[in-house]
Amino acid sequence: MPRFYRSAHGKLKANESGQAAVEVAFAVPLLLLLVCGAIDFGRALNTTQVMSQLTRQGSNLALRLSPTTGCDNLCQAVADVKAAASGLNLANGEIIITSLQETLTGTETIGPTGGPYTIVEQVSSSGGLTVASKLGQGVGTRVTSLPSTAPALQNGQYLYVTEIYYTFTPITPIETLTDDFVSMPSQLYDIAYFEG
């Protein structure tokens, strides 16, 4: 083999190893960004699923629990949901359970989608957030923001609504890596309602 070929072949090998290092240098930050995003997105999705289960559980408990001497059914339901919040630190959140009743004036009739509703009682946990219910606040306040799928109630029935707010904190540096190109939600919200 000619000496020229061997020296050119050696130089090409050296150039290829440098090229591979440059390719890795470009690929690693992109892969790191994708991995961090997948980790935090998965955590946010899991947290949302847990919140969804807790809101359904809270509305169901408010409907079925009997009041105790120190706490009525809504108060007891808030305490039970807070105790059952597996994996969620509700010191970073707020649970609000509201009982609604369909109140009609003389000219209104009960429609197929329900409403208008009035707040009969509202209890919230003492979490780390200070947030207001999206339904409204105060006994006797009229509620207009329930989804159109809210059921129509019979006379004397109640609608129990559970709302959970939760502060989500990413565990990876995705926010600092992307400079607001990709942002994770800082506050998650879920709502569920049961009639009874």
Domains of the chain: total: 1
User: For residues 125, 127, 130 and 133, what is the CA-based torsion angle, rounded to 10 degrees?
Assistant: -40
pLDDT over 80 (residue 146): no
Tell me the mean pLDDT in the region 74-80.
89
Name which of 24-38, 73-87, 164-178 the model is least confident about: 164-178
Cα distance between residue 108 and residue 52, in whole Å: 33
Residue 112 pLDDT: 47
Q: Can you give the pTM of this predicted structure?
A: 0.78
Does residue 156 fall inside a structural domain? yes
Residue 136 pLDDT: 86
Does residue 87 fall inside a structural domain? yes
Higher per-residue confidence, 156 vs 193:
193
pLDDT over 50 (residue 79): yes
pLDDT over 70 (residue 111): no
pLDDT over 90 (residue 176): no
pLDDT over 70 (residue 75): yes
pLDDT over 60 (residue 119): yes
Residue 55 pLDDT: 93
Q: What is the pLDDT of residues 21-61, one digit of tens each?
A: 888 888 888 888 888 888 888 988 999 999 999 999 999 99
Does residue 9 fall inside a structural domain? no
Cα distance between residue 154 and residue 10, in whole Å: 87
Residue 152 pLDDT: 74
Does residue 18 fall inside a structural domain? no
Does residue 117 fall inside a structural domain? yes
Residue 161 pLDDT: 92
Residue 162 pLDDT: 93
Does residue 3 fall inside a structural domain? no
Tokens of 109: 């009739």
Domain limits at 173?
Answer: 30-195
Whether the Cβ atoms of residue 97 and residue 90 lie closer than 8 Å to each other: no
Whether the Cβ atoms of residue 113 and residue 152 lie closer than 8 Å to each other: yes
Where are the alpha helices (H) located in 65-85, listed in sequence order? 73-83
pLDDT bucket at 180, cuts 50 / 70 / 90 = low
Does residue 141 fall inside a structural domain? yes
Q: At what angle do helices 73-83 and 3-64 cross, to 10 degrees?
A: 160
Q: What percent of the chain has pLDDT over 70?
A: 78
Whole-Å CA distances, 81 to 53, 85, 164: 10, 6, 10
Q: What percent of the chain has pLDDT over 90?
A: 18
Whether the Cβ atoms of residue 189 and residue 163 lie closer than 8 Å to each other: yes
Does residue 17 fall inside a structural domain? no
- Which residue type is seen at 171? I
